[in-house]
Each structure stands twice: as structure tokens, then as C-alpha cells.
Amino acid sequence: MRTEQNLTRVDRVFARLDREPERPAHLDMPHMSRHRVVLFGLTLAFYAAIVWAVVTTSWLVRFDWQVMFFRPYQQWPEIHAFLDYYVVLGQRGPTAVMVAAWLGWRSWRQHTLRPLLTLGASLLLLNVTVGAAKLGMGRLGPHYATAIGSNEMWRGGDIFPSGHTANAVVTWGILAYMASTPRARRWLSALSAVIALGVGLTTVYLGTHWLSDVLLGWAAGLLILLALPWFEPLINRVEAWIFDLRDTWRSRRAGTAPVPAPVGAPKPVSQRPQPDEETTPVRDPVASPRVGAQRGSVHLAPGPHSARSERTPVTPVGSRRPPHPDRPTRGASSARPLTGN
């Protein structure tokens, strides 16, 4: 009989991931090249310049106030309803779900957890870096400004840099980062840039962010994408750790972990011979039939049995005929006793 193992849904997913990846072999994982390092340095310098320009209340802060007094949502009210929905492309929850669904399918197709782990690492970096900058600088937004011409820094706000803009850069840019072909990477890079640019300008149109918030949000998101190759070794170690944890959990669930025997206990004897050991054929003992014994069903223990031709012939003892009260047994004297006349 063939026994099939009942696999749970988690087991089937990991069994699918155990297979060889279908990613083209000529494509390597992104590495920190010299070109990427130069871009990272330039973006970091731009980030620092924006922060310095706002802290010192330079011309950039004055331009922020001019854009705010222009009130774009009053200049073009006909697109207000559309942009209310378009700005959702920069919200953390909906975009993370959509991108995670796509990368989850990629993980299933390529039999690896790397796309999902890369998304998780990028979102974690986004929360740590952008969240710390928001709380550290505490800038108020246009709707809550207290003094005309001020930079509104360190007043308990949380809009600098723009979280919508940085999230749009990271979540949509991760699709280009995980692309399998150069052509797909170029198209996805252009698409993510258009979405991030539109989300940032939409927040300025709605009056929820200063223009300098959006500029810093673009720089913050781009810094995370450029720094991801530094975290690739950590992502690989986490993936290997998850698979090791899966194997340990599976072995414990199947009960294959060795149990230590108590001290002084005899070693168990295997009932079935191992395939690597040399075993000699064992013959079944043949018992002598008893006369008048009732025949019952014989249950043989599992084990190897010899063929009938290899068994030693045994001559039955006694008569094969059933006993009869008037019939003398074989071997007894058939002479009748002599009686007197």
C-alpha cells in the first residue's frame, strides 16, 4: 500500500520554495557599484542642503510661503476630486499591500523569499529614517502655521520630510529594484518616478505639505533605494535562517528528532533488517501436528520467510486417519487374547 503524507498549506508553500529558482542565471543581485555610491553621496548632500536651507529660514522657506498663499487647490478646483484619490498611491497601507501581492507572486514563481524580505527591509528603513527625522525636526504644516515667514521647526509637527512622497518613492521603486531584465528595470524606474513625482506635487496642491517637505521626501526615499545593496547579505542570512527554522519545526512535528535512551536500558533490537546489512534467510520452525488437535488460524509475525523448496521435508508422525473407537491404532498388536475352550 502507498501512503501519502498529508501536507498543510504552509508545507506546500515551503516545498514550492525549496525548488531551484527560475530567475535567469546571468542576472546577479544588485551590488554597491561606484556609480551607485556616487549617486548616494550626491543625494545625501542634497538631503543635507534642504535641511540646512529650512533651518536657516532661507529663500526656500519664503518660496514655501508663496506657494501656500497661491493656494493651488483654489486655482484648479476641477482636479481636486481626482487628486484626492491619486494621493492614496503614497499612503503606506494600500501601497504596501499592492506591492506585497506582486512581490509575493514573484517569490512563488522564483521559489525564493528574497522579494518579500527586500520589501520588508526597505519599509523598515523607511519607518526608522523618515520617522526619526519627522519627530526630530517637528515642523508644522501649512494649515497649522503660526507665524508668516517662519520655518515652523521644532513645534511638535511631523511633516518634514513628506511621508507620502518618501513612501511612494520606496514602494514603487522597489519594483524596479527587483526587476529581472534591464528593459523591465528601465520601464519600472520611469513609472515609479512619475508616480512619486505626482504624489509629492499632489500634497502641495492639497496644502498638506510645504514644497520643501516634498523635496526632502524624494531625497529620503531615494537614499533608501540606493542603500539596499548594502543589506543584501543580511537579507540572504535571514532567508537561510527562515528555512532552517522551517526544517527544525518540520522535524519536530514529524517526530523524527532522536530521543535519548535511559541509562542502563538495553538497546532496542530492530524487527526488520536494514537494507545495508547482510542477512541470512531464516527458516520457519515446523511443529509436529498433534492428533485430535483443533485446527485454528495461524498468525505469522512479520519478517522474511523462506521458499517452500528450501524447507526440510518432515515426515508426519502417527496416523493420518481420524481416530475411531472400534479401530485399533497402527503399531499395536493385532492378535486376539487366547481363551480357554
Segment 57-100, tens digit of pLDDT: 999 999 999 999 999 999 999 999 999 999 999 988 899 999 99
* Number of alpha carbons in the 13 Å side-chain half-sphere of residue 126: 28
pLDDT at 257: 52
The greatest distance separating any two alpha carbons of the chain, rounded to the nearest whole angstrom, comes to 160
Q: Which residue has the higher pLDDT, 288 or 126?
A: 126
Helix (H, G, I), strand (E, B) or coil at 330: coil
Mean pLDDT value across the chain: 78
- In angstroms, rounded to a whole number, what is the distance separating the alpha carbons of residues 48 and 341? 147
Cell numbers at 198, concatenated:
505626482
Segment 203-229, tens digit of pLDDT: 999 999 999 999 999 999 999 999 999
Is-contact 168 199, C-beta < 8 A? yes
- In angstroms, rounded to a whole number, what is the distance separating the alpha carbons of residues 187 and 89? 18
| Cβ neighbours of residue 40 closer than 8 Å, sequence gap 6 or more | 223, 226, 227
pLDDT at 164: 94
- In angstroms, rounded to a whole number, what is the distance separating the alpha carbons of residues 129 and 125? 6
Cis (ω within 30 of 0) for the bond into 161? yes
pLDDT at 277: 45
- In angstroms, rounded to a whole number, what is the distance separating the alpha carbons of residues 69 and 85? 24
DSSP secondary structure of 284-296: PP-PPPPTTPPP-
The neighbour count for residue 100, using CB atoms within 10 Å, is 18
- In angstroms, rounded to a whole number, what is the distance separating the alpha carbons of residues 126 and 223? 10
pLDDT at 56: 94
DSSP secondary structure of 133-167: HHHHH----GGG--STT----SSS---SS-HHHHH
- In angstroms, rounded to a whole number, what is the distance separating the alpha carbons of residues 124 and 134? 15
pLDDT at 248: 87
Return the exposure string of 320-341: e unless at least 16 CB atoms fall within 10 Å of the residue's CB, then b. eeeeeeeeeeeeeeeeeeeeee
Q: Which residue has the higher pLDDT, 157 or 282?
A: 157
- In angstroms, rounded to a whole number, what is the distance separating the alpha carbons of residues 86 and 110? 32
| Cβ neighbours of residue 165 closer than 8 Å, sequence gap 6 or more | 90, 196, 199, 200, 203, 209, 213, 214, 217, 218, 221
Burial class of residue 57 in the structure, from the number of CB atoms within 10 Å of its CB (0-12 exposed, 13-18 middle, 19+ buried) = middle
Over residues 223-246, the mean pLDDT reads 91
| Cβ neighbours of residue 145 closer than 8 Å, sequence gap 6 or more | 68, 152
pLDDT at 282 over 90: no
Over residues 297-301, the mean pLDDT reads 44
Helix (H, G, I), strand (E, B) or coil at 63: helix
pLDDT band of 252, cuts 50, 70, 90: confident
- In angstroms, rounded to a whole number, what is the distance separating the alpha carbons of residues 98 and 315? 84
pLDDT at 247: 84
Regarding pTM above 0.85, the answer is no
C-alpha distances in Å from residue 248, one per residue of 14, 243, 253, 261, 340: 13, 9, 9, 21, 98
pLDDT at 249: 86
Does the CA dihedral 216-221-223-226 come out positive or negative?
negative
